[in-house]
Structures are given as C-alpha cells and as structure tokens.
Amino acid sequence: MTRSLGIDIGGTKIASAVLDHDGTVMDVETTPTARGGDLILEQIAAIVDGFAGKYDLPGIGIAVPGDVNPITGIIRSAPNIGWTDLDIVEHVRALLPAEAAVRVDNDANAAAWAEYRFGGHPRTDSFAMITVGTGLGGGFVINGRLLRGATGAAGEIGHLALVPGGDSCPCGSRGCWERYASGSALQRASVAAGWDNPTAGQDVLSAAGTHPAAHQVVEGVARDLTRGILLLSSALDPSLVILGGGLGSDRRFLAIAQEALAGAEVTPPRSRPQLRTAVLGPLAGAIGAADLSLEPADQKTEPEASRTGTNSADKVHLSGIIPQVPNYA
C-alpha cells in the first residue's frame, strides 16, 4: 500500500505526517525545530529514519518556509531556518533507497494543496488558499494542479504591493500586503489602539464580538485582507478562497472578513469568491508535501532550460493572408 511521508519544517516546529494513498493520516510527529541549519538536517535524517523503520515510503515531501525551486530541489533561501542554496532533495535522497521520490515545495503551496485535496471544500477548478499567520502567504490550485509558476514563487503574495509607497516592510519594500493583513499587523494595530500588552492581537480578537473598538481594529485588518483578495480576484477569479494560518483559520476573524468582503465596493460588479477557513490546521503543510511527493513528474513546473526553447506549435502561417487584411494599425 502506497504511503508517503511529509515533513513540514517551520520556524518553531517540524510537523511530519505519514499519508496513505487515500488521504488517511497514518502517523504524525512534531518536534521543536533545532537552532541552526545543520542541526535541522540531522533532525530530518532522524525523522526519516524513524518512519522508514515502520513504513514503506516511496515518496518523501519536504515543505519549507522560503524560496524554493521545486524542479531543481534547491532551497534558495529560507531565512527562518538558516538555509541558503541548499539542495535538500539530494540530502534526503541520500538517506533512502534509490527509487524513492523526494520533492520539496514551499510550505504555503503544500498547505494549499492539502486543503484542496483533503479539506472537503466545495469542488472548484480555481482555488486559492491564503495563509494569514505571523506573515501572509498563499497557494493556488488551477484546473486541478498546484500553480508553482516559472520559478516556484507563485502564491508568494505577502510582499505584493497592496499600497504603493505605503508602510515600510523588513523586506526592504513598501506597502507589502502582509504589513496590513497578518497576525503581526493585527498585533501592531491593537497596540496602536491602546491594548497595551504582549498578546494585544489575540485579546482584541477575543473582544471583537462585544467591544466595538476591538471590532473596529479587527475590521481594519480584515478590510486590508479583502482588498488584496479582490486584487487576486481580478487576475484569477477564484470561486473559493480558503483562509489558513493562526489568524486566518480563526472563525471569529472569518466572520469579520466575510462581512468586509461582502461590503467591499467591487466595480465593475463581479462575483466575489466564497471565503472559508482551512480545516487541516498545522498538519496541512506536511499532508500536502506527502501527497505532492507522489505526483507525476509532468505536474512540475517547467525546467529552466526549456524556457529558452520555442513553443511546440508552429508559428501561425499568415503569408498570403495578411495582405487581404485592410489597414490594421
């Protein structure tokens, strides 16, 4: 029976899940993330070793919070865990029998895939997941396939320029969406509104149902979230947007975000996506990575090399026809 292992490497925890071919989670394990890239590699080796003793593992998927190329298997940068230009796939493959498939993906993409596949959400061919936690991330499933983009960076929407010339972001840019719509943004807005303590954001969220001033703070963040969602809708027209992450999957926040989306001016009038919360919680990344490790090779984004070639289709043949077309500017 086909089983695969997903390992989701977060800044504070590593969550691992063994997945059966039908989406049944057979086993899970979580462990605090070690400090230092090399120590984390040792943790991965121990996790793989432990599960490989119990299960046949034809596929292993790794989910990483950072800039990942799923084709080459290279993690270009994952600042939270101290990796730069690391060939994680080679590293993990060395631990395994030669025929095992090893894949790596961005954690938000892996989580989006898990929710799409196993979240029990309404069926759709245009699915977006937005992870609203400390920061903001996302992943899209289009026509049944994870959208990775040319370099694996599709869905990295946290630094989308929501407000040109807006608030400074540690990334060096200004007006990034995650400065306005994230758990950190809620925390900052709460402190600014006078909730003067280390858990201000959570307190404000708890108070939002009964305390108008708290509701207003949450509403501000929800409005900035839905402004970005409407930007994405202009491009992708998803029918469904799943909110994940600590803040996004909170039902109190969902209700306020749904109100904000329903109240947003949308012109020209177009349909608004349905908003729902994620259901797989902190296991989503591991589940998605496990499932993606077994996807057929043709589902991957195109290799860098082929992008310099030409399309397989011939150029259209217009000779002898164009002269019949009058006066096109």
By the rule CB under 8 A, 210 interacts with its own copies? no
Q: Strand, helix or coil at 233? A: helix
Q: Amino acid letter at 6?
A: G
- Of 108-137, binders to its own copies (CB under 8 A) are 114, 116-126
Q: In whole angstroms, what is the distance from residue 187 CA to residue 195 CA?
A: 9
If we measure between CA atoms, which residue out of 75, 3, 4 comes closest to residue 41?
75
Applying CB under 8 A, which of residues 1, 94, 235, 297 lies at the interface with its own copies?
235
Q: What Cα–Cα distance (Å) separates residue 41 from each residue in 9, 59, 86, 87?
A: 10, 18, 10, 11
By the rule CB under 8 A, 54 interacts with its own copies? no
Residue 98 vs 318, nearer CB to its own copies: 318
- Bridge partner list, 176: 161
Q: Amino acid letter at 152?
A: G
Residue 52 vs 153, nearer CB to its own copies: 153
Q: In whole angstroms, what is the distance from residue 116 CA to residue 139 CA?
A: 10
By the rule CB under 8 A, 306 interacts with its own copies? yes
Handedness of CA 37, 281, 149, 257 (dihedral sign): negative
Residue with tokens 């990796």: 83
Contact 262, 272 (CB under 8 A): yes
By the rule CB under 8 A, 294 interacts with its own copies? no
- Of 255-284, binders to its own copies (CB under 8 A) are 265, 267-268, 270-271, 273, 279-283
By the rule CB under 8 A, 30 interacts with its own copies? yes
Residue 210 vs 310, nearer CB to its own copies: 310
- Of 215-234, binders to its own copies (CB under 8 A) are 227, 230-234
The least distance separating its own copies from the CB of residue 48, rounded to whole angstroms, comes to 19
- Of 149-168, binders to its own copies (CB under 8 A) are 149-157, 159-164
* Total site size for its own copies, rule CB under 8 A: 95
The least distance separating its own copies from the CB of residue 111, rounded to whole angstroms, comes to 13
If we measure between CA atoms, which residue out of 266, 278, 314, 329 comes closest to residue 120?
278
Residue 120: DSSP 8-state: -
By the rule CB under 8 A, 107 interacts with its own copies? no
By the rule CB under 8 A, 326 interacts with its own copies? yes
Strand stretches in 245-289, DSSP E: 274-277
Applying CB under 8 A, which of residues 246, 260, 278, 289 lies at the interface with its own copies?
246
By the rule CB under 8 A, 173 interacts with its own copies? yes
By the rule CB under 8 A, 296 interacts with its own copies? no
Q: How many CB atoms lie within 10 A of CB 182?
A: 28
By the rule CB under 8 A, 329 interacts with its own copies? yes
Residue 1 vs 325, nearer CB to its own copies: 325
Q: In whole angstroms, what is the distance from residue 159 CA to residue 135 CA?
A: 10
The least distance separating its own copies from the CB of residue 19, rounded to whole angstroms, comes to 8
If we measure between CA atoms, which residue out of 99, 102, 2, 97 comes closest to residue 44?
102
Residue 94 vs 308, nearer CB to its own copies: 308
Phi-psi region of 250 (alpha: psi -120 to 50; beta: other; left: phi over 0): beta
The least distance separating its own copies from the CB of residue 267, rounded to whole angstroms, comes to 4
By the rule CB under 8 A, 148 interacts with its own copies? yes
The least distance separating its own copies from the CB of residue 106, rounded to whole angstroms, comes to 11
Residue 180 vs 195, nearer CB to its own copies: 180
Q: How many CB atoms lie within 10 A of CB 164?
A: 7
By the rule CB under 8 A, 145 interacts with its own copies? yes
